[in-house]
Amino acid sequence: MSPAPRQTGVRAGAETPKLRVLQVSLHHPELVRGGAQQVCYELFEGLKARGDFAPVLLAATDDSAPALFRSGARITGFDGRPDEHLFLTSEFDPFWHRSSNKLLAESFAEFLRLIRPDVVHFHHFMNFGADYLTLTRRVLLDCRIVFTFHEFLTLCHHYGQMVRRSDRSLCDRGSPVRCHQCFPEIAPEMFFARAEWFRRHLSVVDAFTVPSRFMIDRYVEWGIPAGKIVHIPNGQRNYAAGVQAEPKRGKRNRFGFFGQLVDGKGMNVLLRAAALLRAQGFDDFLVEINGDNLRYATPAAQSEFERLRAAEEALPVEAQRVLFNGPYHVEKLPRLMARVDWCVVPSVWWEVFGLVISEAWMFRRPVIASDVGGMAERIRHDETGLLFPMGDFRALADTLRRAATEKGLWDRLVAALPPAPTRETMVEAYARVYRDGANTVQAALARAAE
């Protein structure tokens, strides 16, 4: 483990200097929405609000924002925002997660030398390169390097989701042969080499964090030392702050989906469930689909979504039970959450945390979710929410009907909802990792649990 971050210029009796923390993000949430970059930005803003840290953000951007690529530049400012920078990635290989642009590596090294952070916290290596961890260690011998696993990209080339390409079943263990089965065009030994590549660069990390406990076992089995991993739930600012209490309602039959319209989020499972309910003669419910990025779904998923949407919108307005509200910004959450009683998270992958679950809890909305991964870890079935078998739209239909009709269920679940993890709690936990390292924090958490 590297020594504690150096604190320069400390005189006896002098004020403790701020710890400079560089947050490295795969995207800026202003440019591309997504969970990992959102959490990174929450942490960045949370650290800024404290007086003892000097955070800097370096977020990558790719050719989805070509206008931001200034000629000859590799790292620039962002939108006039202080301490926020853009890394203009190029020549990025998504299998090896590295760039062959040597000027980018040189610019990153120079940036590190200029900023001289005490802590470098990587929320990803995508769009930078896994070898940037090693580069960071080489440039800043004394800094503490922290890495957060926001999904399973190190273990799984299939978008880090650990979902088998053959039958879309969940995968719980990667191996050269199993990965080759998902990608027959890539030799097993290449997956072996890929794993070695990642292990090599992750070996310089001082502390790892994961947002859900079940990820710890997965990564320890892969090779991360158990003593280096800390569980820190993702926290967010409270979007429900200042929202007035809503009047009581008799029926609790309004369901909301909030998320990207990509395969892993399972929006089609919800649409099929709604269609089934109607076919069974039950139509006393409403589903609101909030989200965007259908273009990133697979063609099959896009096609099915469009078909179900078209069938719904072909019905007379009074008969429609599914509304498509389009994309949304988190600022709209109060209004959107007010229109629903339940939040549905029908994800068909492990869903390592599910920020939307926290957002639902902020607005005291119980969650109906798939019974796997981070969802099953956070929600206790029939106590703080409802779980259904992942991908089973019939079971989801039954759950929706129960939720809409069972008297007292909603009130009971709402009363038992835990508070959503706050930004401040998350920042405090990270502050301790930055200052004290992973195993010290682990020991403290263990003592607190006793």
Partner 1 sequence: MPYVSDQPLSLSEAVSFDEAEYLRRYPDVVEAIERGKYRSGREHYERYGRAEGRVFTALPSELAEVAVGVATGFEPSAPAAPRHAIDAVLIAEDGWVCVVGWVDDSAEPLCSLRIEGRGWSATAAGRALPRLVRADVQKALEVDEARSFGFLLLIRTGARISPPRECRVAFQWQGQEMVLLAPARTVSPQEMLTHVLTLLTRAGGNRLDTMLALKGGLGSEIARLSRAVSGALVRAPFVERFGDQKRQPKTSIIVCLYGRPEYLFLQNALFANRPGIEECEFIYVCNSPELIERLLKDAACGTTIYGLSQTVVGLSGNAGFGPASNLGAGLARAGRILCLNPDVFPREPGWAARHNAIAEAGGAGSRLFGTTLFYDDGALMHGGMYFALDPVVAVRPGFVQSDMFARVEHYGKGAPPDTKSFLRPRPVPAVSGAFLSAERAWFERLGGSPRTMCSAITRTPISVCAAWRPVCRCGCRICRCGTWKGRARRQARSAPPRIW
Which residues of the shown chain bind partner 1 in the complex (CB under 8 A)?
96, 98-102, 105-106, 109, 131-132, 134-135, 138, 176, 185, 187-190, 192-193, 196-197, 200-201
Smallest distance from partner 1 to CB 68, Å:
23
Smallest distance from partner 1 to CB 59, Å:
21
- DSSP tag of 364: T
Smallest distance from partner 1 to CB 74, Å:
13
Among the listed residues 406, 389, 167, 403, the one whose alpha carbon sits nearest the alpha carbon of residue 269 = 389
Nearer to partner 1, 174 or 291 (CB): 174
Smallest distance from partner 1 to CB 175, Å:
9
Smallest distance from partner 1 to CB 229, Å:
22
Smallest distance from partner 1 to CB 201, Å:
7
- The two tokens of residue 432 are 């301790």
Smallest distance from partner 1 to CB 197, Å:
6
Contact 87, 58 (CB under 8 A): yes
Nearer to partner 1, 45 or 131 (CB): 131
Which residues are paired to 256 by β-bridges? 288, 343
Nearer to partner 1, 176 or 334 (CB): 176
Nearer to partner 1, 103 or 311 (CB): 103
Amino acid in position 145: I
74 CB burial (10 A radius; 0-12, 13-18, 19+): buried
Contact 164, 171 (CB under 8 A): yes
- The two tokens of residue 232 are 């820190």
Nearer to partner 1, 101 or 425 (CB): 101
DSSP string, 255-301: EEEES--SGGGTHHHHHHHHHHHHHTT----EEEEE---GGGS-HHH
Smallest distance from partner 1 to CB 95, Å:
9
- The two tokens of residue 265 are 């989020």
133 Cβ contact list (under 8 Å, min separation 6) = 122, 125, 145, 147, 201, 202, 204, 205
- DSSP tag of 323: E
Smallest distance from partner 1 to CB 63, Å:
19
Residues shown for the chain: 450
- The two tokens of residue 119 are 């802590």
Nearer to partner 1, 176 or 225 (CB): 176
Nearer to partner 1, 167 or 185 (CB): 185
Smallest distance from partner 1 to CB 128, Å:
12
- DSSP tag of 72: T
Smallest distance from partner 1 to CB 122, Å:
15
Nearer to partner 1, 48 or 180 (CB): 180
Nearer to partner 1, 131 or 428 (CB): 131
Distance CA 229, CA 219 (A): 9
Amino acid in position 157: H
DSSP string, 310-330: HHHHTS-GGG--EEEEE---G
Contact 384, 357 (CB under 8 A): no
**Helices and strands of the chain, counted as H and E runs:** 15, 16
416 Cβ contact list (under 8 Å, min separation 6) = 383, 384
C-alpha of 293 from chain center: 16
- The two tokens of residue 27 are 């995207």
Distance CA 209, CA 346 (A): 25
Nearer to partner 1, 132 or 239 (CB): 132
Maximum Cα–Cα distance across the chain: 77
Nearer to partner 1, 188 or 334 (CB): 188
